[in-house]
Structure formats: C-alpha cells, structure tokens
C-alpha cells in the first residue's frame, strides 16, 4: 500500500513540481490549496487565479485537490503581529510566522485529521535525520535556499515533513515542469507576502494603520525633509526618502539609520560607509533552537540578518534562555529591529531569534 502524503500546493511552479516528484516516487499524493487571506480586491491577493493554476496542475497529474481556508488563523497569528510591529516602527518578518503557525501547524493539523502523518511543501531546504533528531539544512540552490524562513520550526513538524526540492536548483525545477507540460512552468515567482501582492506597500499599509507624518533629521540634528510615517521605512533604506540637494556638501545618498518614536523623527545619514549604519553587536531575543542538543557557544557560527544575505561569522553569548548578545566578526549593514537573525553551523540551520539593538 502506498504511503499517503498531503502536499501544500500554491499554484506556483515549486509546489507543482513537489507534487509531481512525490507522485513519481510512489507516494499516494493529495493536494491542499491554502487560502490564507480574505480580500475583495483581486488586485491585492490573487488566490482565485492561483487556485485555478493549482487545479490545472492536479488535473494534469491526476491528483485530488481541496481548498482549505486558514484566513482566520492567519489574521490572528500572523497579520495582527505584522500590524503591531509596524505600528511600533519595527520591521517584522511575517513569512517566518506564517511557516510556523499556518503551513507547519494549521496545515499539518488538518492533514493529521485526514489520517495522514506526512506533509510536503515546495520549500528550497532539506531535512536530515541524524543522531536521533531531525535537522533543517540549507537547500542545494543557495540563491533560493529558504531555511531562513523555516528557523522557527521544531523537531515535531520537521519529522512529519518532506521538501522534495531540497536537492534541486530552480533551473532544474522549471525544466522538470516544462518537460511534464505543467501550466505553471513559466509562471513568475511570487514576491513579498500574499496580502500585499504586487501593489504599493505604502498604500496597503495605509488601509490598516493611520499615517503620522513627521520630520527627517540628520545625525547632526538638522531637518533635511519630511516623512509620511515611520512605519513606511526600515533601517538601511535608501530609496523613497525624497531628500534633495542643498542639505550637505556631500553628494552621497541618504540612508535611514534610526527612528525616534517619541518625537516622530526619521533619522538619516549620508553614505553607505557611514559607521552608524553598521552593527558590531546586536541582541537576539525570542530565541528558538531547532536542535535538542545543547548549543556550543564557544564555537564560531554564521548568521544571516536578512534573506539571501551572505553568511556572517559571529559568536553568541547567552544572556538567558530567551536572549543572547551576538558579536559579528565584521560589522553588518543595517540590522533592522524586528527582523530575524538565523544561525548556522555550515549548512545546518540551528535556529534564530528577533533582532534588537545592542546598547552599551
């Protein structure tokens, strides 16, 4: 009897090929399309089009497909956090929470209610069972590796998951899709988060949070412009500041270096080489470790403070079970509070936390 597995299919090429490969490997595959966002504006979330693409793929392969609505769970567990963080002037990472709360909790629980103990997704990452534990590893395609977004997963969901694309490059995935005649073979990869889609991020955020314009202030306390609301900017941002000439003798571009939430001021500096843009140390809070083994804090690790960033060598000093001081071998550019820092030992994803500023 074939082993049954439920694939989370999104209507994109990655999940389509994941379903195809598992079918070819002999699994009894059933597909679930997750609808995580309720919105009447079709320009924002393309779930109807995505479901139609997923349906075409399943019909071609000969797989059953069902649609499940997790929008309530998404709002309560992901979007409410997203809004509260932006309101506080921080830069959240909703994709990390979406993976933990929706794809590998709500979806996994749904599959188990169907009597299936295994799920699969189209993530570019790998799972390895070694030394009596399941470990998360980087995907083969280092440009597409998504382990950064999966660091909040624990041992249990990893033990019940498959990542069929872990040993493939994106080019290989598209070639497999084309060879199989899948309608998603040339479909453009989705960018950002579903509820924003391709629309203007500022316009989207304005629908949920009131704008609060204020002044843009240089490091020497000079007013150099006005901002439309601190929530629209992130540390290290260069584009969209609207600061013209005449404020400095330098021609270098301006960058966001901080936010004064009390005075409602956006703090900026000139030049990407400005020391204020770099962090030798940060605090990592809300730490989550994938491994059950005790972390060796004497060993130099690597870390990413944003997706697709080159690994940065660092050491960590535990403050308590929940937080640590992270010291980088070389100062890192624009560590944004609210974003995730994810730790690695070679290709093994150890876990991570939320970035907070380090204050002497």
Catalytic residues: 98, 194
Rounded Cα distance between 147 and 199, Å, is 27
- Given a contact cutoff of 8 angstroms between Cβ atoms, the answer to whether 247 and 219 are in contact is no
**Helix/strand/coil for 225:** strand
Question: Sign of torsion, CA 229 232 236 241?
Answer: negative
Instruction: Give the HSE-up count for residue 298: Cα atoms under 13 Å, Cβ half-sphere.
Output: 0
Tell me how far apart the alpha carbons of residues 211 and 129 are, in angstroms, rounded to a whole number.
49
Query: What residues does 318 pair with on adjacent strands?
Result: 324
Integer angstrom CA distances of residue 184 from 16, 17, 44, 55, 353: 7, 9, 20, 11, 35
Q: What is the dihedral of CA 200, 309, 329, 237, to 10 degrees?
A: -20
Ramachandran sector of residue 91 (left: φ over 0; alpha: ψ -120 to 50; beta: rest): beta
């Amino acid at each position: 009897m074939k082993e049954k597995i439920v694939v989370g299919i999104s209507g994109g090429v990655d999940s389509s090929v994941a379903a195809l490969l598992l079918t070819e490997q002999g699994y009894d595959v059933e597909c679930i399309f997750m609808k995580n966002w309720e919105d009447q504006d079709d320009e924002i979330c393309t779930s109807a089009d995505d479901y139609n693409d997923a349906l075409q793929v399943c019909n071609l392969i000969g797989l059953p497909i069902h649609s499940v609505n997790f929008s309530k769970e998404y709002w309560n567990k992901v979007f409410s956090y997203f809004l509260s963080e932006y309101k506080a002037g921080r830069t959240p990472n909703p994709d990390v929470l979406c993976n933990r709360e929706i794809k590998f909790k709500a979806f996994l629980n749904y599959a188990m209610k169907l009597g299936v103990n295994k799920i699969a997704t189209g993530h570019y990452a790998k799972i390895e069972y070694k030394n009596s534990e399941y470990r998360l590893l980087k995907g083969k395609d280092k440009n597409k590796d998504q382990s950064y977004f999966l660091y909040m997963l624990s041992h249990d969901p990893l033990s019940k998951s498959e990542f069929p694309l872990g040993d493939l490059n994106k080019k290989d995935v598209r070639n497999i899709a084309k060879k199989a005649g899948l309608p998603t073979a040339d479909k453009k990869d989705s960018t950002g988060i579903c509820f924003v889609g391709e629309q203007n991020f500022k316009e989207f955020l304005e629908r949920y949070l009131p704008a609060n314009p204020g002044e843009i202030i240089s490091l020497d306390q000079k007013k150099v412009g006005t901002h439309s609301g601190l929530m629209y900017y992130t540390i290290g941002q260069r584009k969209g500041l609207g600061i013209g000439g005449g404020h400095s003798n330098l021609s270098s571009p301006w960058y966001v270096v901080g936010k004064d939430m009390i005075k409602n001021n956006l703090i900026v500096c000139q030049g990407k080489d400005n020391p204020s843009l770099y962090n030798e140390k940060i605090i990592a809070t809300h730490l989550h470790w994938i491994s059950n083994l005790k972390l060796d804090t004497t060993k130099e690790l690597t870390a990413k403070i944003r997706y697709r960033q080159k690994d940065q060598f660092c050491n960590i000093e535990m403050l308590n079970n929940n937080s640590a001081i992270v010291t980088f071998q070389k100062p890192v550019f624009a560590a944004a509070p609210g974003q995730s820092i994810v730790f690695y030992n070679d290709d093994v994803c150890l876990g991570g936390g939320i970035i907070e500023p380090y204050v002497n």
